[in-house]
Structure 1
Amino acid sequence: HDFEKLKAAFVNFTHRLPFYGRVMLCIDDPHVRAILPQVTKPVTTYGFSEGAEVRALDAHAEGVQMHFTVRQQGYPDTKFVLNQPGMHNVLNACSAIAIAREIGISDEATNQGLQSFSGVGRRFTRYGEVAIPGGGSFTLVDDFGHHPVETEVTLAAARAAYPDRRLVLAFQPHRYSRTRDLFEDFVKVLATPDVLLLADVYPAGEAPIVAADGRALARALRTGGKVEPIFVEAIADMPAAILNAVRDGDVVMTMGAGSISGVPHQLTNVKA
């Protein structure tokens, strides 16, 4: 759990690159900026920051796509479209663009790839519209996010992709140790959706830890007063709990690295 050792391991990894290798680093991150002087291999920086060599400008959401312009010395300012939502995915795209340019792939080919990219499993996977028994429907999205930073950027992506719609989050914490170590961060980010359905912790082989379970999170969130969590003890009850809480036009996001992954399939099989 020593973050300095983690940074040192990353620097050591860059030292193992072959002589023709290049390191792509997101300069927006202060920890990445801190290790830059220690990286001896050729570096290309990217990000939203003014000092980034591959810089994203004017990034904005249009539905579930991100539109942005890339500025890099030696290239004209070029507009790109990414078929995934979220500012974090713009950064991911910038690293791909930088690598593509480094190895001689044209911007046109890269843009075609970004526009047709369908994503990877359980990363803002869109299930489309799901009927609500009794009338109406909601948009269903599933994501693997299971730590606070992932959760925060994914919820922000959902807000940008579906503005002016109620956001319902069904979240299953993953591991008691992670819940304990990042408890306050979880409380902060889980207070941001309009409706929160909170499952108990998926243990992933761990023994329970006192005050680091779903009920403890629910109590802390209730005390904070920003959201009234709906605690769902058994994950088997989550589909019914979602259908009970959802309204026509909502965006429902299921999130977590555990057994909640089966909930979207159960919801899509519900008879209207």
Structure 2
Amino acid sequence: MNLETIDNVYFIGIGGIGMSALARYFHANKKQVSGYDKTKSDITDSLIGLGMSVHFEDAVNNIESTFLDPSKTLVVYTPAIPKNHAELAYFNENGFKVMKRAAVLGLITENTQCLAVAGTHGKTTTTSILGHLLNACDVPVTAFLGGISENYQSNLIINGTEVTVVEADEFDRSFLTLSPDFACITSMDADHLDIYGDAEELQKSFKEFANKIKQNGKLFVKSGLPINGITYGIEDDSDYSIVNLKIENGVYVFDVKTPKTTLEKFKFNLPGRHNLSNALIALAMAAEFGCPHQQLAKALASYKGVKRRFSYHIKNDDVVYIDDYAHHPEEINAVHQAVREMYPTKKVLAVFQPHLYSRTRDFVEEFAESLSKFDEVILLDIYPARELPIPGVTSQWLLDKIKNSNKQLVKKANLISKIKESTANVVLTIGAGDIGDEVKHIKQALLHAS
């Protein structure tokens, strides 16, 4: 399909983080863009502010007449949309070109130099660091991000179209629509078992993705993963390794050993070894791409992070409030490591909203172990997203397994009062559901209390 012949792009699920980045891209490329989403949000508000029309009721008569010509309109949808969606059914039944988001991303990137970031954790942060590095080195890049960059206040970086940076998402095997020139794999922990069935099938899919890299392309893999490629790691014998690591005033300071030399004096502001690992692979890919050392060092020091990725909302002597998207046990472990490294003597309260019944069921023991490491735990009810309840799979079931005497299950309506009762100095909110909507209210309450 030739995207040049398309005048209009209609999105079903336009408010999703990946979908909205595509909507911004097509809007920037002078296409007419419109769409539907189930709920109003900051993202839909920002799209409307750019001039796109968005509605929130699934009804064919809400679709503007401009978008009803099958020869001029591309319809993009997300796998989270239910099969019985009226608008999606209409487009499917009336001769429109209807494509999943991942397939459209594959089309956009196929005639570019594509750098893809894969892995069960770390994709969004790594992609945003890599996009920022290339942009700062004046590469003509478009980067599609799975989160809102604090540097650009957007999930799209656009500085040209010759090079693309994308998240290669393993959910629904979406990343198999890509054929990148450079790719990295940050992690292959079991996840999305509702799609894959078991960890072995997930690993097979990553190996299939590795085989999609173009001839003479480069694959980077975190040290220890069962796939061959250029390796990277922290203070080890990988091809790219962080050496001489120090923390100065809450900032990581380090050098990078490459296969040919050592690049000196990098600074990175995000806490946590997981973020340091993400920075390393972004640096490795940018260096192999040809970006000069001095520009890379300056760019990395100016990187501010991604919203809901260890995002500070309060940072004073009385209280620290951090919000993070972590929704897998390994991600919670990474957040715990980061917060203990930065605040070794402080009492930490973790407020967690489990995401998906299936993920809670598949990793209940691991979630319990991860959450038990915090001083206090507040659990919210499971956020269902695209799923129906599974009998017996509840937040109470998870709570009962947490080995921590200071734990409670709380309804969202009572959350702020329960947080204010806590004696913790550090408050964390974690999860991938709508817990992010509570952040501004929690921030106000904590500021008022302190």
TM-score in same-fold range (> 0.5): yes
SS in 1 for 2:262: coil
Q: Structure 1 residues 219, 60: closer, same or farther in 2, change over 3 A? A: farther
Offset, 1:260: 1.2
Could you say what the CA RMSD is over the residues aligned between the two structures, in angstroms? 2.0
| Displacement of 1:60 | 4.4
Alpha-carbon shift at residue 106 of structure 1 (Å): 1.6
**What is the alpha-carbon distance in structure 1 between the residues aligned to residue 335 and residue 249 of structure 2?**
14
Letter in 2 for 1:81: K
Per the TM alignment, residue 52 of structure 1 is displaced from its structure 2 partner at its CA by: 0.6
Aligned with 1:257 (options 429, 432, 436): 432
Q: How is 1:69-218 mapped onto 2 (pairs within 5 angstroms)?
A: 69-76=255-262, 78-129=264-315, 137-218=318-399
Distance 1:17 1:105 in 2: 21
- Pairs aligned (count): 251
Q: Percent identity?
A: 31
For residue 244 of structure 1, the aligned residue among 396, 411, 421 is 421
User: For the Cα contact (< 8 Å) 2:263–2:293, is it kept in 1?
Assistant: no
Whether the 8 Å contact between 1:61 and 1:161 is mirrored in structure 2 is no
Q: Which residue of 1 aligns with 2:222?
A: 26
Q: More deviation in 203-212 or 138-147?
A: 203-212
Unmatched runs of 5 consecutive residues or more in structure 1: 37-42, 131-135
Aligned mates of 1:59, 1:197 — CA distance in 2: 34
| Residue number among 196, 204, 211 corresponding to 1:15 in the alignment | 211
Could you tell me how far apart the structure 1 residues matched to 2:212 and 2:378 are?
45
Does the C-alpha gap of structure 1 residues 208 and 16 become closer, same or farther in structure 2, counting only changes over 3 Å? closer
Deviation string 1:111-141 (CA, Å, 9 cap, x unpaired) is: 21221111111100111248xxxxx841110
Distance 1:156 1:210, change over 3 A: same
Amino acid at match of 1:8: K
TM-score (structure 2 length as normaliser): 0.53
CA radius of gyration, larger in: 2
For residue 227 of structure 2, what is the amino acid of its counterpart? I
Q: Distance in 1 between matches of 2:371 and 2:329?
A: 8
Paired with 2:199 and 2:304, the residues of 1 have a C-alpha distance of 34
Residues 67-109 of structure 1, C-alpha deviation per residue, up to 9 Å, x if partnerless? Answer: 3322123213523211111111111111111112112212221
Q: Determine if contact 1:60/1:66 at 8 Å carries over to the other structure.
A: yes
1:2 aligns with: 198
Distance 1:260-1:202 versus aligned 2 partners, 3 A rule: same
- Equivalent in the alignment of 1:228: 406
Cα distance in 2 for partners of 1:217, 1:44 equals: 39
Alignment of 1:22-61 (within 5 A): 22-27=218-223, 29=224, 32=225, 34-36=226-228, 43-48=229-234, 50-61=236-247
The residue number in structure 2 matching 1:40 is: none
CA–CA separation in structure 1 for the residues paired with 2:357 and 2:247 = 35
Q: 1:129 to 1:251 in 2, by over 3 A?
A: same
- Distance across 2 between alignment mates of 1:49 and 1:63: 21
SS in structure 2 of the partner of residue 269 of structure 1: helix
**Equivalent position SS for 1:35:** coil
Partners in 2 of 1:7 and 1:84 — Cα distance? 29
| TM-superposition CA deviations, 1:175-212 (whole Å, max 9, x none) | 11111110100110110111111112112242333332
SS at match of 2:227: helix
Structure 1-normalised TM-score?
A: 0.85
